[in-house]
Structure 1
Amino acid sequence: MEMINFKKIATATMLGLAFAVCYADDSRPLPEPPKGFYVPAENLITGGQPSKSDFLQLKNAGVTKVINLRAPAEEIDFNEQQQAEALGLEYVSLPVAGAADITLENAEKLHALLADEQKVFLHCASGNRVGALLAIRAHAFQGQPADASLEVGRAAGLGSLEEKVKSVFESLQ
């Protein structure tokens, strides 16, 4: 009789442990994104052109979508879309060729692409166009004041396109 109770207790304990392992809250932080990238918001990593090997680090950091702002004429030495999709990442191209494409319309397109709350890696060649569109998005679609919106842009890589961003802000008034 004692052996049967021991077996029942041991079985129940093992099942309980298996259940706990399967349903435990794994709150360990995800690995950091590759060096040189920015994290301006919880679900957003930004920067310049990633290397082929950066994509695995981005996936390991929790990224599920890649948004590339580079224009098709900006060639690189590997197929970025193929690399992202091979890792199971959604890939979106939103070509922004330069200052002329830093517009309210492109910021609105980006705003729509960021609306689903996936963890996103957003890039161009240097991060400058990324920061510019994020600044416009913050001001025009998220209601932030101009100064705070510029800070959002700078935190994401905005540099030489700041005057262009300010001109878009002025056109909104």
Structure 2
Amino acid sequence: MPAAERAAAACRLFLALWPTPAERDELLHYQRRWSWPPGAAPIVAERLHLTLHFIGALPRQRLGEVSAGLQVASEPCEVVLDRAEVWPHGLVVLRATSPPAALQQLHGRLGEALQALGLKPEKRRFRPHVTLARRATGSIPPLASVALRWQLSSYTLVESLAGAAGGYLVRQRYD
């Protein structure tokens, strides 16, 4: 099978918290207050999210089964994004220093659901964060402290679209 057909037959998925328009606007306002070095790539508005689990590439015919199998119980809570950091390779993130128990439980339940579907959750420790920019080593954060509050009442299954345009497509919202 040619590479183009293989790509069309697969979908690349992840689970995420998707910001409301107001939450996204607050993130953008905070992001614009940074001083970015030449070559930095701030994340565009429609790509801002907090990843719960990266799933990876799956055969597209499994999308319905996976989507149905990822419905888990979750409790509403507030996630406070309050610590800006520059991670290796110039990744600038805003993370939650004290993730609420309900978010940790949601992450755990989704990991169990992925395993039940025969998928392998990532082994990395869950550090809830929103990526603000890539290739941004040497960035200067705003002087003022930050505490952006997200109300967790749902999560999403998202497809990462290939090609020059790229982008994300929310496949399922779980309330």
Compute the TM-score of the two structures, normalised by the length of structure 1: 0.23
Structure number, greater radius of gyration: 1
More strand by share: 2
Q: Report 1 or 2 for greater relative contact order, CA contacts < 8 Å, sequence distance ≥ 6.
A: 2
Query: TM-score, normalized by length of structure 2?
Result: 0.23
